[in-house]
Amino acid sequence: MLTLASSVIANETSLVVAIHVSAGVETLTRDQVINIFLGRFRQLPNGHLAIPIDQDSDHPIRAEFYRRLVGKNPAEIHAYWARLIFSGKTTPPREAESEEQIIQWLMTEPGAIGYLPADRLREPLKAVFTLDP
């Protein structure tokens, strides 16, 4: 039931890429978000290190985020990371166990950047990119 409810939220709600206001980032482009979350270039526009955070792998919002961002399903994302992990290039985003943990990391760790349903955004976090349904 919870999974079904989460799926509905994932499908119908805007997702926002969020970061702490103190990071000094106003907005990100789609390519910049892709670069950070797919491990191509993890640097914020102000030059600071970006630390991407994924939702739990079972959370439907995670699949929805990558579907909206790059049009890929979870198997394709796993295949992508298999290539990078096993050629020693980079590692996937840190994985949070819950939405609350993502929010906690975003609030406490410099450079942490994650994605949330738009209605879960709270101060002092700000949306720097939006993925509409």
Interaction site with another protein (CB under 8 A): 31, 35, 40-43, 49-50, 70-76, 78-80, 82-83, 85-88, 91, 94-97, 101
- Of residues 45 and 118, the one with the C-beta less far from another protein: 45
Residue 51 bridge partners (DSSP): 112
Measured from the CB atom, is 14 or 101 closer to another protein? 101
How far apart (Å, rounded) are the C-alpha atoms in residues 26 and 118?
16
Residue with Cβ nearer another protein (26 or 123): 26
φ/ψ of residue 54, rounded to 5 = -95, 150
**Shortest Å distance, C-beta 88 to another protein:** 5
Q: Do the beta carbons of residue 120 and residue 103 sit within 8 Å?
A: yes
Residue 44 beta carbon to another protein: minimum distance, rounded to whole angstroms: 9
Of how many residues is the chain composed? Answer: 133
Q: How far apart are CA 5 and CA 72, in angstroms?
A: 22
Let me know: does 55 contact 65? Beta carbons within 8 Å. yes
Residue recorded with tokens 């799926």 = 7
For another protein, give the closer residue by CB, 94 or 120: 94
Least distance to another protein, CB of residue 39, Å: 10
Minimum CB separation of residue 2 from another protein in Å reads 19
